[in-house]
Structure 1
Amino acid sequence: MLVAVGSRNPVKVASVRAAFNAVWPGSEWCVEGCSVASGVSDQPMSDEEARSGARTRAVVARQTANADYGVGLEGGLQQVGPHWFNCGWVYVVDREGIEGMASTVRIVVPPTVMQLIWQGHELGDACDQIFKARNTKQHGGIFGLLSNGAIDRTSAFTDAVVAAVVTFLHPQLMGNI
């Protein structure tokens, strides 16, 4: 079965592959990334914007690749009180239009990183500058940098994809979100 991921980012593609293989270990999955627009800003600044981007990526990727499932993953920031958090959102859609949705864990974004974001940088670029790293958004991301690798983007997104596919595992309980 074909699963289209609405991104060519290797972290996102690997997360989807790991999640589908974990949930359906005996199934044959062809997981392919494809470049699609999210329809939201390069740096989503709310859960609503990140969810919208993830859903758009899932729908467009599924249609573009004529896949059995489309998966959209979109990271974003959300202000909670005086603090900013990073979180990723996941949508999974199938040919019948059934949708599953979930999110990653959240992690506080340091004020020094937020200063760069307010200056127009995306989170990954800001992290590269602060942590003197390179291309962190295609590796461990801010989760990996702040947790010394205990949590990384791949593991966080894998768990979120698993959570999003519960809609397809238990349709009689979940309905369609």
Structure 2
Amino acid sequence: MIMYHVVCATTNPAKIQAILQAFDDIYGEGCCHIEPVAVDSGVPEQPFGNHETRTGARCRIMNARQVRPEADFWVAVEAGIDDDSTFSWVVIENHKQRGEARSATLPLPAIILEKVRAGEALGPVMSAYTGIDKIGNKEGAIGVFTAGKLTRSSVYHQAVILALSPFHNSMYH
């Protein structure tokens, strides 16, 4: 079995878990060594809009490639706010191609959106609202507002699987 070196352009445990699970699902359990790296997104801590959020993920990939050029895959997950909802972009690259997918979206209540629009990032707003420290590293707003039926990681996992599709399907080549 091939062992892939996968660089995650994040140190967020919810994102890392989603990436690891997706690679295990697609390439087989234990198929990869995941290495988290802290890199800049080039966008604000709380990106707004589809374009800014995807730009953040692409920028993280570019920076991760500079830090770890020897990797087999680079993966970034950037969460943003658009149309009163939170969502994320997943960008994956290897030495030959790129895969991108946008996650499912979660509508946010007005009380949360008001604080986010005033300049606070969603994670800290949700932590203050719920009392859950560093909620963005755990279930996230998604876990809170879906009564735990979905989590930040489970929604990212689906988007990572979608973004991986060009890498293992021959029709893309």
- TM surpasses 0.5: yes
Gaps of 5+ in 1: none
Alignment CA distance shift 1:167-1:133 (3 Å): same
**Aligned match for 2:42, one of 39, 44, 65:** 39
Shift of 1:61: 1.4
Shift of 1:107: 0.7
Partners of 2:109 and 2:29 in 1: how far apart?
42
Q: How many residues were matched structurally?
A: 169
Partners of 1:14 and 1:153 in 2: how far apart?
10
Tell me which amino acid in the other structure corresponds to 1:50: T
Partners of 1:169 and 1:44 in 2: how far apart?
30
- TM-score of the aligned structures, taking structure 1 as reference length: 0.91
Q: Does the CA contact (< 8 Å) of 1:62 and 1:68 recur in 2?
A: no
Partners of 2:155 and 2:109 in 1: how far apart?
19
Once the two structures are superposed, the pairs formed by residues 19-38 of structure 1 within 5 Å of their partners are 19-25=22-28, 28-38=31-41
Tell me which amino acid in the other structure corresponds to 1:146: F
Question: What is the alpha-carbon root mean square deviation over aligned residues?
Answer: 1.3
- TM-score of the aligned structures, taking structure 2 as reference length: 0.93
**Aligned match for 1:12, one of 12, 15, 30:** 15
Q: Which residue of 2 aligns with 1:52?
A: 55
Q: Which residue of 2 aligns with 1:115?
A: 114
Partners of 1:37 and 1:103 in 2: how far apart?
20
Q: Which residue of 1 aligns with 2:139?
A: 140
Tell me which amino acid in the other structure corresponds to 1:3: V
Shift of 1:64: 1.3
Q: Which residue of 2 aligns with 1:173?
A: 171
Q: Does the CA contact (< 8 Å) of 1:62 and 1:93 recur in 2?
A: no
Partners of 1:112 and 1:174 in 2: how far apart?
43
Shift of 1:174: 3.3
Tell me which amino acid in the other structure corresponds to 2:33: C
Percent identity between matched residues is 26
Shift of 1:26: 5.6
Q: Which residue of 2 aligns with 1:77?
A: 81
Tell me which amino acid in the other structure corresponds to 1:93: E
Tell me which amino acid in the other structure corresponds to 1:168: F
My pick for the range that moved more, 121-130 or 56-65, is 56-65
Q: Does the CA contact (< 8 Å) of 2:23 and 2:31 recur in 1?
A: no
